[in-house]
A and B are shown apart, each in its own frame.
Chain A
Amino acid sequence: AQKITQTQPGMFVQEKEAVTLDCTYDTSDPSYGLFWYKQPSSGEMIFLIYQGSYDQQNATEGRYSLNFQKARKSANLVISASQLGDSAMYFCAMRGHLNAGGTSYGKLTFGQGTILTVHP
């Protein structure tokens, strides 16, 4: 079974400052992927960044970076230079094997989410 834990229900940050959103995970899959999504009030899930379990380097996408610590099973999202438009719900998610012992990947397991509010 896969599990994602996001322990911060809400976070506040000043515009132009950096913020870290925490995510820990648990899985028995030897190979898996970790994702971060942004969900504005409109409801659509917007892909931000991806980290593979065998990737040697931490992923970066523009102002987003993923602090991946495999031994600690954590995959924290760092947003640099926060903008007012970053205010939204953020979800950490994992993709592992669709079925135990299988080879196909499919479902995403999501955490509870963190509401980020950026203040001017």
Chain B
Amino acid sequence: ETGVTQSPTHLIKTRGQQVTLRCSSQSGHNTVSWYQQALGQGPQFIFQYYREEENGRGNFPPRFSGLQFPNYSSELNVNALELDDSALYLCASSLNSRNPGTEAFFGQGTRLTVV
């Protein structure tokens, strides 16, 4: 186990609703990244938080937002859910670094289904 936990593990929402996904990072890690993985695809980077501030974002609309708390846990919020938001959402924690080899530790993900 990586020490990164995500909740809930599964979720079903209706189109137009809002959802909040949660991630507890590994102890000592101050950086959290979120990824969206559609079925049969590779994960796509949503955004990254470092010390409670967003410091990088992928090609996702503003209805995808996040928070990082002082204990470095994090939330991913998605407003106005669309059917295409159905995916596995992965959280990864790491130490922000100037070293490209910094390992990211992933949680088991939250599988979101939008109906």
Chain B contacts for A111, CB-based, 8 A: 42
Cβ of A61 within 8 Å of any chain B Cβ, yes or no, is no
A43 and B111: CB pair below 8 A?
A: yes
Instruction: Classify the secondary structure of A's interface with B.
Output: strand
Chain A contacts for B101, CB-based, 8 A: 33, 50, 52, 95
Q: How far is the CB of B81 from chain A (nearest CB, A)?
A: 20
Interface size on B, residues (CB 8 A): 33
Q: Which of A33, A46, A91, A99 contacts B100 (CB 8 A)?
A: A33
Cβ of A110 within 8 Å of any chain B Cβ, yes or no, is yes
Interface size on A, residues (CB 8 A): 31
Complex alpha-carbon distance, A102 and B100, angstroms:
12
Instruction: With A43-B88, A111-B42 as known contacts, state yes or no: A105 contacts B100, CB within 8 Å.
Output: yes
Q: How far is the CB of A22 from chain B (nearest CB, A)?
A: 14
Complex alpha-carbon distance, A46 and B41, angstroms:
16
B100 and A110: CB pair below 8 A?
A: no
Chain B contacts for A53, CB-based, 8 A: 100
Cβ of B90 within 8 Å of any chain A Cβ, yes or no, is yes
Cβ of B31 within 8 Å of any chain A Cβ, yes or no, is yes
Chain B contacts for A113, CB-based, 8 A: 40-42
Chain A contacts for B109, CB-based, 8 A: 43-44
Q: Which of A31, A95, A103, A109 contacts B102 (CB 8 A)?
A: A95
Complex alpha-carbon distance, A50 and B33, angstroms:
19
Complex alpha-carbon distance, A99 and B47, angstroms:
12
Q: How far is the CB of B108 from chain A (nearest CB, A)?
A: 4
Segment touching A, from B21-29, B61-69, B70-78, B91-99 = B91-99
28 contacts between A and B (CB under 8 A): A32-B100, A33-B100, A33-B101, A37-B106, A43-B88, A45-B92, A46-B106, A47-B104, A50-B101, A50-B103, A91-B42, A95-B104, A96-B100, A98-B48, A104-B50, A104-B96, A104-B98, A105-B98, A105-B99, A106-B31, A106-B50, A107-B33, A107-B48, A107-B58, A108-B33, A108-B92, A110-B42, A112-B41
Q: Given A95-B104, A113-B41, 19 more contacts at CB 8 Å? A: A32-B100, A33-B100, A37-B106, A42-B108, A43-B108, A44-B109, A45-B106, A52-B101, A96-B100, A98-B56, A103-B98, A104-B55, A105-B99, A106-B31, A106-B33, A107-B56, A110-B43, A112-B42, A113-B42
